[in-house]
């Protein structure tokens, strides 16, 4: 797939949203947007710190309890602890730690994350992450039937979670979804530019 080199602005004559880019040097095309949201980061960081601190306390208690039960650490009473109790506390702490780490990652994305699509020949790469850390997915550009704003529904035990994403539609497949961390203006910018580049 060939590209006309140069810096490409916002589509349809609109002002380009801050934190977005579209460049093409004739060999590699990049369309991207920042996920920065300072307000979200300020909300997420304290909550994430609390979850991680609670998980750390429970985790430390469970490890100490297991070590005491194995005789590798002395107790104040001189009696061995219960390994079952330590293991139960550790199992309880792991989901809390998982939530805390997820919130920390979300805060990092809100501080300095990005979503970027890179097209080199027929290889289209979708990257979501912070700096070099993140997730990359590759797909053939020729296999993409369309680029649309899509509502993703995540089923949970309580009620479904709905969020807006960019969907690269692939006939007979699930396609590739990304861009949930973007605001609507930045998501629209990426969709319109990708539609124009891919011609669909």
pLDDT tens by residue, 125-184: 999 999 999 999 999 999 999 999 999 888 877 788 889 999 999 998 889 999 999 999
What is the model's pLDDT at position 70?
A: 66
Q: In the structure, what pLDDT confidence band is assigned to residue 4 with cuts at 50, 70 and 90?
A: very low
**pTM of the complete model:** 0.76
Q: What are phi and psi of 161, to 5 degrees?
A: -100, 125
CA distance 67 to 81: 8
Angle between helices 83-112 and 38-69 (to 10 degrees): 160
Query: What is the average pLDDT score of the chain?
Result: 85
Of 139, 134, 145, 200, give the one whose Cα is nearest residue 170: 145
Check whether 67 has a pLDDT greater than 90. Answer: no
What is the model's pLDDT at position 93?
A: 79
Q: In the structure, what pLDDT confidence band is assigned to residue 6 with cuts at 50, 70 and 90?
A: very low
The residues near 18 (Cβ < 8 Å, ≥ 6 apart) are: none
What is the model's pLDDT at position 68?
A: 72
* pLDDT average, residue stretch 40-57: 87
Geometric angle at alpha carbon 9, from 129 and 199, rounded to 5°: 80
């Amino acid at each position: 797939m060939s590209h006309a080199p140069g810096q490409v602005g916002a589509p349809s004559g609109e002002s380009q949203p801050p934190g977005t880019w579209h460049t093409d040097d004739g060999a590699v095309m990049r369309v991207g947007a920042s996920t920065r949201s300072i307000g979200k980061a300020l909300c997420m960081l304290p909550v994430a710190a609390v979850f991680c601190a609670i998980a750390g306390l429970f985790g430390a208690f469970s490890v100490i309890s297991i070590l005491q039960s194995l005789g590798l650490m002395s107790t104040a009473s001189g009696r061995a602890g219960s390994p079952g109790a330590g293991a139960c506390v550790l199992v309880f702490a792991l989901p809390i730690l998982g939530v805390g780490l997820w919130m920390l990652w979300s805060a990092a994305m809100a501080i300095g994350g990005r979503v970027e699509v890179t097209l080199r020949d027929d290889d289209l790469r979708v990257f979501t992450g912070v700096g070099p850390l993140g997730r990359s997915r590759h797909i053939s550009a020729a296999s993409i039937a369309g680029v649309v704003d899509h509502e993703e529904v995540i089923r949970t035990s309580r009620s479904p979670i709905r969020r807006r994403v960019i969907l690269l539609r692939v006939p007979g497949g699930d396609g590739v979804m990304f861009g949930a961390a973007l605001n609507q203006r930045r998501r629209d910018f990426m969709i319109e530019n990708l539609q124009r580049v891919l011609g669909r």
